Structure formats: structure tokens, C-alpha cells
């Protein structure tokens, strides 16, 4: 799953909007600053909107990787507390 080293992972493919973002946000909240999380999400609405919502929260988006199984993994570095 891409060549980015990450500290935690969370799968939000079991949720629908807005809980996709909520689950991702809760997982990011548990990280320490600078840690990286891999967030697995479905194609369609989640991958259109969740990256932007996480950006708007002030975290750093590193990469969106296509898993080629109808899901994507977004790598995010936590910024601030």
C-alpha cells in the first residue's frame, strides 16, 4: 500500500457521510503531532470530500493512493493538537 511509512491506520469504508469524516477525525485526534495515519475509504463521495475536510481541519495531506479495489488510502500527518 504505497511506500509511505505510517504509525496508525483506520478503515472508514464501513461508514457513510458524515460518519466517514467523524471516524477519521477521531482517529487523527488520538495521534501525536507529526504522526502519520493511513485512512482507507471508499471511492465516490468519501474520496471526493474527506480529504478536503481533513485539510480544512489543518492537517497535512501527503498522498492519496488507489488500492485498485474500489478503495483509496489517504495518508495524513497530524498537525497541532
Partner 1 sequence: MAETIDYSSLKKGGFMRQKQKGFFSLRLGVVGGNLTAENIKTIAEVAEKYGHGYVHMTSRQGVEIPFINFNDIEEVRGELAKGGVRPGVCGPRVRTVTACQGSALCPSGCIDSYELAKEFDERYFGRELPHKFKFGVTGCMNNCLKAEENDLGVKGGYVIEYKPDACISCGVCIKACREGALSLVDGKVVMDESKCNHCGRCVKACPADSWDYEPGYIVSFGGLFGNKIYKGEEIVPIIKDKETLFRVADAAIDFFDKNAKPGERFRLTLQRVGEEEFRKQIRAAYEGK
Q: Which residues bind partner 1 (CB under 8 A)?
A: 43, 47-49, 51-52, 55-56, 60-66, 72, 74
Residue nearer to partner 1 on the CB measure, 9 or 43: 43
- Return the exposure string of 26-57: e unless at least 16 CB atoms fall within 10 Å of the residue's CB, then b: ebbeebeeeebbbbbbbeeebbeebbebbeeb
Backbone angles phi, psi at 13, to 5 degrees: -70, -10
User: From the CB of 72, what's the least distance to partner 1, in Å?
Assistant: 7
User: From the CB of 49, what's the least distance to partner 1, in Å?
Assistant: 8
Residue nearer to partner 1 on the CB measure, 17 or 64: 64
Which helix (H) or strand (E) is 10 found in, with range? Answer: strand 8-11
Residue nearer to partner 1 on the CB measure, 1 or 52: 52
Amino acid at each position: 500500500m504505497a511506500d509511505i511509512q505510517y504509525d496508525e491506520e483506520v478503515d472508514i469504508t464501513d461508514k457513510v457521510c458524515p460518519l466517514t469524516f467523524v471516524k477519521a477525525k477521531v482517529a487523527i485526534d488520538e495521534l501525536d503531532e507529526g504522526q502519520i495515519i493511513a485512512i482507507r475509504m471508499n471511492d465516490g463521495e468519501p474520496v471526493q470530500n474527506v480529504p478536503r475536510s481533513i485539510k480544512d481541519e489543518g492537517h497535512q495531506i501527503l498522498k492519496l493512493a488507489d488500492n485498485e479495489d474500489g478503495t483509496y488510502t489517504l495518508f495524513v500527518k497530524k498537525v497541532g493538537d
